[in-house]
Amino acid sequence: MEVKIQIDDALFFDLESCAKELNNTTSSLIEKAVSAYMDKLDEIISDKRIDDIKTGKTETIPMEEVFKKAGINV
């Protein structure tokens, strides 16, 4: 899939410099950076969900109730 993005000129210059230094492509470095950031976002979202449970913003359902509604006997 081809995706077009806009990047600040100074950031792109830094990215090109790193790519040349590492004998890599800018696209590859962007893909790796986004992938690493997605891992960080997963962590941030998990922390938010835990906080929402702790503060009562999100209600939890006991596992037994979920199984019962799904017709699963444990």
Q: What is the pLDDT of residues 23-38, one digit of tens each?
A: 999 999 999 999 999 9
In a domain, 14, yes or no: yes
In a domain, 1, yes or no: no
3-class DSSP state of 56: coil
- Distance separating alpha carbons of residues 10 and 21, to the nearest angstrom: 17
Domain count for the chain: 1
In a domain, 59, yes or no: yes
In a domain, 3, yes or no: no
Is 90 exceeded by the pLDDT of residue 1?
no
In a domain, 33, yes or no: yes
The maximal CA–CA distance of the chain, rounded, in angstroms, is 60
- Structural domain containing residue 61: 9-70
